[in-house]
Structure 1
Amino acid sequence: MRTFLIVWFGQLVSHIGSGLSSFALGVWVYEETQSVTDFALISLCIYLPHIITSPVAGAIVDRWNRRYAMILSDAASGIGTVAIWILLYFDKLEIWHIYIAVAINSFFNSFQWPAYSSATTTLVPKKDLGKANGLLQSARAAAKIIAPTMAGFLVKEIQIEGVMFIDFMTFLCALGTLLCVRFPKPEVTDKTPPKLEELFQDTVYAWKYITIRPGLFWLLIFLAVTYFNLGVLQVVFWPMMLSFADSKALGMVLSIGGCGWLLGSVMMSAWGGPKRRVYGIYLPVIMQGICLLFGGVRTSVPLVAIGVFGYLFAYPIAISCNRAIWQTKIPLELQGRVFALDFTIEKAVSVLAYVISGPLVDTFLDPILAPGGLLATTIVGDILGVGKGRGIGLLFVSLGIITIMGTFFAYRYPRVRRVEKELPDAI
């Protein structure tokens, strides 16, 4: 556990640094272009390389030393940060430089998560995997809370160049922790230089491994609902809040949500989850469905704040318990590929949510709950209200109902409910 905590601390610092630079670069792009499209292209450059390369990256991780994969990822990210800093220093930075740097960074980061997740399995006792995954979630939550606040202050005080330098120093911290530890080697590691065809075959094998085990396959599909819901929230939550509240209330609710995520992560890292980890998925996801109902049913800041807090409090518990099941049931020599596939599905579903949620609200849901709309004078309009942003409320309520029903069906399906008993431990 000591080695894991050393690595975790380095990655925590690196996450915060990456959050600082992401915020600063986003501000720079928007101020330079005043274009939402140019700003949104940064997200595309972050997610698209990840989605495309993660499955193959996972296959490489399974054939390679996980520590080396993490070192490569952190080193490449640090080099990209230095390149941006140099261009800024000489006043040569262009928008396309950022797109290229972000895309390259995303490519190398596709090695990071499968290597980190599979290495955690070897660094932490099986009984403590829930706690370890809680710590991983707490690092993400802390970065989400700390980085925007710090970056907003630092950009004014030391300019974007100073923020990029701090980010580079955080990468050095992460590299330093990785260089001073050793990872246990998996019992089976294919060290032969792989051909591209073999990497694709490895990825297909990992997918087949999942699909012939219905408990794991449907657990993966079930969790995809949570990923989709979070993607929708990231797109439409701000417009919904600003339709009936000001930016101060929005910031307060976002801070409350971040505290919920952090509290859930810290609780999970101390508790480790229930003995039957699948119940540590069912109950939090039901809670998320109820919180979506709370968040959408009324234009009330306190009610929405309660919903956001509860939703994000439950998120790290469900994800940590899910991750612990996979780490226990998947052989070490397959974990890089399997976690890469899981990550690909998570990001692909999130991108799908980004793409469809905006048009769905603008062209269908908002109009039917506008004054004179199709549902304005029905019981739906009476409950949710009528006017701007109420289409988003209807979307939240619909997702809440779907989430609760999906959890009920997942519970009723014995392969998922009994996945921990029916599948033997692989570690």
Structure 2
Amino acid sequence: MTTTTGWRRNVALFLTGQTVSLFGSMIVQYVVMWWVTLQTQSGLAVALYAVAAFLPQGVVSIFGGVLADRMNRRVLVMVADGGIAAATLVLAMLMANGVTDLWIVLLAVAVRSVGAGVQTPAVQAMIPQIVPSEHLMRVNGIFQTIHSAMALLAPAAAGAIFAAFGVVPVFFLDVVTAVIGIGLLAMVAVPTLERVTESTASYRQDLVEGMRYIKSQPVVRWLLVVYATIFLLTVAPTFMTPLMVARSFGREEWMLAVLEVAFSVGMLLGGVLMSTVLAKRSPVGLILTAVYGFGLATIALGLSTNLWVFYGFMFVIGLLVPPFSTPFMTLIQETVEPGMQGRVFSYVTIVMALATPIGTVVFGPLADVVSVEILLIAAGVAAVIAIAFAARLPSGRATMAAARKLGTEPVAESVP
């Protein structure tokens, strides 16, 4: 699946390119979300933003995963990143000329989401191609740490640029970072899978094969159930936290920036822990600790009456993200055979991209009827109950058993 010679150079180029591209994309994400929140102060508008940001990604991922298993994944990522940059450039030109209608901004967000639906499964499936299996958890931890560092720097940079120059310069910056990222990725050597050159199956056959494969793998099924629960009941409600800050604590841009910085500092520390002291811990144990923590911290957000206490619990949520996402991705990469990973990761993306807008479509309008605080408490309680139930499902018990054997047997072979 990957060669042992030159893999460190490949990983260094890959991580550097993805870091630069990710930095620009995250700045755009924060600024657009803040712009919508401050311009409208409407839960419905925030929900529409979430739908535009995630729903197209979920739909397109159905085909993006198939493409990732049929095409050279490096080329696919480069083309998708270029398309996202082009959409951003068009939006920048429109807004620079005074076109600031909400529907146009949301349309551009949706187009960027389409590109992410193609790019994300290919990136995740590419990692085990260029990283030896014995280094996979550590490299995933490093990738998560870099992601967390960018999540720390991006809101600070976004807040400074947004407050000083407005929204348009942020879009131009994203175009520049995308071009740099594409250039670095072009230098990464990614082996072509045999299936890419040999497959004669139709897209429909590939999709059905991917669904059947997931159905036959209890570990993958259970991971997707947990993933959906977290995004529906904890990630979606946290989209309302900027609205809670604006309504309950103040409308200054720095308040929203500090909210994201607190979350990102937690992610950064969690990523460091995952790439060092937690790298050898049980993946399933880390996942369960994180998901229960998400539910409890979401409840605590709703109970917070002090802005800095509120920031503290956002820090805790950020801290728990790497112990959830890193072992989750590593288990998928270790469990799923290489020729199926693009399709499996496409379904992971679909779950994330559909659960988030579904949740915000519910929580957004409700936030215009009841307080965000009540919504966060209710969602956190529901998340804890749902995870406790999921851990007792047959697939949950099978995953626990597989995790105990992970040191001596591949997960895919240890689960009947």
Aligned to 1:52, what secondary structure does the other structure show? helix
Gaps of 5+ in 1: 367-387
Choose which of 402, 409, 416 in structure 1 pairs with 2:392.
Answer: 409
TM-score w.r.t. length of structure 1:
0.81
Q: What's 2:285 paired with?
A: 279
**Kept after mapping to 2: 8 A contact 1:128/1:272:** no
Q: Which moved more, 1:82-91 or 1:1-10?
A: 82-91
Bigger Rg, structure 1 or 2? 1
Q: 1:418 to 1:100 in 2, by over 3 A?
A: same
CA drift of 1:83 comes to 2.7
Given that 1:235 and 1:354 are in contact with CA atoms closer than 8 Å, whether structure 2 keeps it comes out as yes
Please point out which of 192, 199, 212 is paired with 1:208: 212
Q: Residues 71 and 175 of structure 1 are in contact (CA less than 8 Å); yes or no, is this contact kept in structure 2?
A: yes
Aligned to 1:117: 124
Stretches of structure 2 lacking an aligned partner (at least 5 in a row) = 1-7
Query: Paired residue for 1:54, among 61, 86, 91?
Result: 61
Change (3 A) 1:193 1:43: farther
Q: Percent identity?
A: 24
Query: Distance between the aligned counterparts of 1:241 and 1:90, measured in 2?
Result: 31
Is 1:339 aligned with 2:322? no
Q: 1:3, 1:123 within 8 Å by CA — same for their partners in 2? A: yes
1:321 alignment partner in structure 2:
327
Aligned to 1:372: none
Q: Which residue of 70, 74, 94 corresponds with 2:77?
A: 70
- How many residue pairs get aligned? The number is 401
CA drift of 1:211 comes to 1.0
**Structure 1 segment 17-166 matched on structure 2, within 5 A:** 17-25=24-32, 41-88=48-95, 97-155=104-162, 157-158=164-165, 160-166=167-173
Are 2:227 and 1:220 equivalent residues in the alignment? no
State the structure with bigger RCO (CA 8 A, min sep 6), 1 or 2: 2
For 1:411 and 1:266, the matched residues in 2 are separated by 33
| Amino acid aligned to 1:172 | V
Output one character per residue of 1:307-341: Cα deviation in whole Å (capped at 9) or x when no partner: 33222211221111011011011011110000010
Maintained 8 Å contact 1:58/1:340: yes
Matched residue of 2:296: which SS? helix
Asked if 1 retains the 8 angstrom alpha-carbon contact of 2:235 and 2:356, the reply is yes
SS in 2 for 1:409: coil
Say whether the 8 Å CA contact 2:47–2:361 is kept in structure 1. no
Q: CA deviation at 1:2?
A: 2.9
Q: Does 1:235 align with 2:242?
A: no
| Residue of 6, 29, 52 corresponding to 2:13 | 6
1:189 maps to 196
Deviates more, 1:37-46 or 1:342-351: 37-46
State the Cα RMSD in Å: 3.4
Deviates more, 1:142-151 or 1:5-14: 142-151
CA gap of 1:2–1:402, structure 2 versus 1, over 3 A, is farther
Report the CA distance between 1:157 and its aligned residue.
Answer: 4.5
Paired residue type of 1:220: L
Query: Relative to structure 1, is the Cα distance of residues 313 and 180 closer, same or farther in structure 2, using a 3 angstrom cutoff?
Result: same
Query: Relative to 1, partners in 2 of residues 1:267 and 1:61: Cα closer, same or farther, differing over 3 Å?
Result: same
Q: What's the TM-score once normalised by structure 2's chain length? A: 0.83
Counterparts in 2 of 1:202 and 1:290: CA distance versus 1, 3 Å: same
Question: Structure 1, residues 32-64: CA drift from partner, whole Å, max 9, x if none?
Answer: 889876665443332222111111111011000
* Aligned partners of 2:219 and 2:395 also within 8 Å: no
Q: Deviations over 1:224-244 (max 9, x none)?
A: 222223333323334555666
The change in CA–CA distance for 1:188 and 1:154 in structure 2 (over 3 A counts) is: same
Q: Secondary structure at the match of 1:273?
A: coil
Residue 172 in 1 paired to residue 179 in 2? Answer: yes
